[in-house]
Amino acid sequence: MRYHNITKDDMLNGDGLRVVLWVAGCDHCCKECQNPITWDPNGGLLFDEQAKNEIFEQLDKDYISGITFSGGDPLHPANRTDVKELMKEIKEKYPQKTIWLYTGDSWEHIWNYPLMKYVDVLVDGEFKIELKDAKLLWKGSANQRVIDVKKTLAQENKTQPVLHAPDYAEDSGK
pLDDT in tens, 5-45: 999 999 999 999 999 999 999 999 889 888 899 999 999 99
Residue 169: predicted pLDDT: 55
Least confident of 80-94, 109-123, 159-173: 159-173
Residue 116 lies in a domain: yes
Residue 109 lies in a domain: yes
Residue 55: predicted pLDDT: 98
Residue 166: predicted pLDDT: 74
Residue 20 lies in a domain: yes
pLDDT in tens, 125-165: 999 999 999 889 999 999 999 999 999 999 999 999 999 97
Residue 172: predicted pLDDT: 42
What is the pTM assigned to this prediction? 0.93
Chain centroid, CA 8 distance in Å: 15
Residues paired with 67 in a beta bridge = 19, 99
Task: Give the range of the structural domain holding residue 149, as residue numbers without chain letter.
Answer: 2-154
Spell 101-114 as b/e; 16+ CB within 10 A means b. bbbbbebeebbeee
> Which strand ranges, in their side-by-side order, compose the sheet holding 45-46?
45-46, 2-10, 17-23, 64-71, 98-102, 121-124, 145-148
Residue 137 lies in a domain: yes
How many domains are contained in the chain? 1
Residue 173: predicted pLDDT: 42
How far apart are the C-alpha atoms of 119 and 101, rounded to whole Å?
Answer: 7
Average pLDDT, the chain: 94
pLDDT in tens, 45-54: 999 999 999 9
Q: Which of 63, 53, 4 is nearest to 33 (CA)?
A: 4
How far apart are the C-alpha atoms of 124 and 160, rounded to whole Å?
Answer: 13
Residue 6 lies in a domain: yes
Residue 96 lies in a domain: yes
Residue 171 lies in a domain: no
| CATH code where residue 12 lies | 3.20.20.70
Label residue 171 by pLDDT band (50, 70, 90): very low
Residue 160 lies in a domain: no
